[in-house]
Amino acid sequence: MDESDSMAVIRHCIAIVAVIAMGAAAYALSDILTPLALAVFLSILIDGFVRVLSHRARLPAQVALTVALLLSTLLFGGALYVIADSGAGFVNELLGYGPKLNAVIAQAAGLFHIAVPPTLGELFQQLDPMKFIAPAAAGLKGFAANALFVLVYMGFLFASQHGFRRKLVSLFPNRATRENAIHAFERIRNGIEQYLYVQTVTGLIIAASAWAVMSLIHLDNALFWAFLMFVVCYIPVIGGAVAVILPPVFAMVQFPTYGPAVVLICALAVIHFVVGNIILPRMQGESLNMDPVVLLLSLAFWTAIWGLPGAFLSTPLTVTAMVILAQFPASRWIAVLLSGNGDPESAGRSRVGYTPGEAPLVPPAPPDRPQKRRSVTKA
């Protein structure tokens, strides 16, 4: 092995150690980084909304930002109202499903030839719900605190946008390096925006179609289930499975026969198949350029590090990591493994080089700063 090969191996080892160290730091600082990451991605979402209002509706930048913040607040408040209103009714009805759940458990036990099937109360006691209630309460308390931190971080992020250009010039005095950094930032932004746009549109299609089917068969709390399906669309792989399985299970409990549950699970499977195999590929294209196995592994990784917020942010975080890793020769091989077609630079490339009428991530880069001449005094 010659010297160049040895240096390449050393660089690769350093890149692996750096990635592991960053993962350990993300886990250790999860309480600080989780609300910051949520604030960054919400800011990107709102910033895209601002640019749409500015260049489609011809609104001034400040007016567009105010309208975007107001609409986002109304949407967030509406989501909380749906959760509070429909969720309360769902919990009340769930308490009355005890006898029906016992019957379903008895039928399932008969399929497995269990002589004495357990009741719901016995299962409830064996599960020891106090072990789960305390962490759930702590999680709700932490969610309220994180929501406050997310709002604070968002305010500071929007306030610091004006100084981003000067920071960029100071960080990258060379024009070519600065242009590469701008294109990397734009690829990250475009990839995240495209992902959020696609998941939002497809989530609305799934939720609206599922609500129509659940309303036709008169499933209780159809609006709550539709809202839950929309939310879990942002969780790769597992979200779709939850959306297909849970409503039919409760349909089995609600109705005296299994006919509505069979109709519902078939309808939900068809909806997800059409959206996932026809609509989603046409909308998403190659904007993410991530391997399907990487999507699943990133979901497990970020969920283990940051919990539920990590599950929602797993895909945007992995896209960001792939674009950043592709900028350095020592870590580019990791980005190649994360990509879907072996070209990590293609992530978010469809909209890089913003079209006329669309604001760039940062203003056009100014020319290189002239170097100051130092005066030399003669001895």
Mapping DSSP onto H, E and C, the string for the chain reads CCHHHHHHHHHHHHHHHHHHHHHHHHHHCHHHHHHHHHHHHHHHHHHHHHHHHHHHCCCCHHHHHHHHHHHHHHHHHHHHHHHHHHHHHHHHHHHCCHHHHHHHHHHHHHHCCCCCCCCHHHHHHHHCCHHHHHHHHHHHHHHHHHHHHHHHHHHHHHHCHHHHHHHHHHHCCCHHHHHHHHHHHHHHHHHHHHHHHHHHHHHHHHHHHHHHHHHHCCCCCHHHHHHHHHHHCCCCCHHHHHHHHHHHHHHHHHCCCCHHHHHHHHHHHHHHHHHHHHHHHHHHCCCCCECHHHHHHHHHHHHHHHCHHHHHHHHHHHHHHHHHHCCCCCCHHHHHHHECCCCHHHCCHHHCCCCCCCCCCCCCCCCCCCCCCCCCCCC
* Mean pLDDT value across the chain: 76
Instruction: Report the pLDDT averaged over residues 186-190.
Output: 82
Does 211 score more than 90 pLDDT? yes
Does 364 score more than 50 pLDDT? no
Q: What is the predicted pLDDT for the residue at 59?
A: 80
Q: pTM for this one?
A: 0.73
Task: Between 221 and 369, name the one with better pLDDT.
Answer: 221
Task: Between 57 and 232, name the one with better pLDDT.
Answer: 232
d(CA 290, CA 292): 6
pLDDT in tens, 369-378: 444 444 444 4
Instruction: Report the pLDDT averaged over residues 159-183.
Output: 79
Does 142 score more than 70 pLDDT? no
Q: What is the predicted pLDDT for the residue at 93?
A: 67
Q: What is the predicted pLDDT for the residue at 312?
A: 85
Q: What is the predicted pLDDT for the residue at 335?
A: 84
Q: CA 372, 377, 379 angle in degrees (round to 5)? A: 155
Q: What's the burial of 11, exposed, middle or buried (CB within 10 Å: 0-12/13-18/19+)?
A: middle
Q: What is the predicted pLDDT for the residue at 354?
A: 38
pLDDT in tens, 92-101: 666 666 666 6
Q: CA 58, 349, 44 angle in degrees (round to 5)? A: 50
Mean pLDDT is lowest, of 47-56, 163-172, 281-290, for: 281-290
Q: What is the predicted pLDDT for the residue at 205?
A: 92
- Tokens coding 239: 């979200």
Q: Among all chains, which residue has been given the structure tokens 């006691």?
A: 125
Q: What is the predicted pLDDT for the residue at 271?
A: 92
Percent of the chain with pLDDT over 90: 6
Does 26 score more than 60 pLDDT? yes
Q: What is the predicted pLDDT for the residue at 359?
A: 44
Instruction: Report the pLDDT averaged over residues 234-253.
Output: 84
Whether the Cβ atoms of residue 344 and residue 183 lie closer than 8 Å to each other: no
Q: How confident is the model at residue 216 (pLDDT cuts 50, 70, 90)?
A: very high
For residue 234, which of 258, 201, 212, 264 has the smallest C-alpha distance? 201
d(CA 149, CA 349): 32
Percent of the chain with pLDDT over 70: 72
Q: What is the predicted pLDDT for the residue at 267?
A: 93
AA identity, residue 20: I
Q: What is the predicted pLDDT for the residue at 311?
A: 85
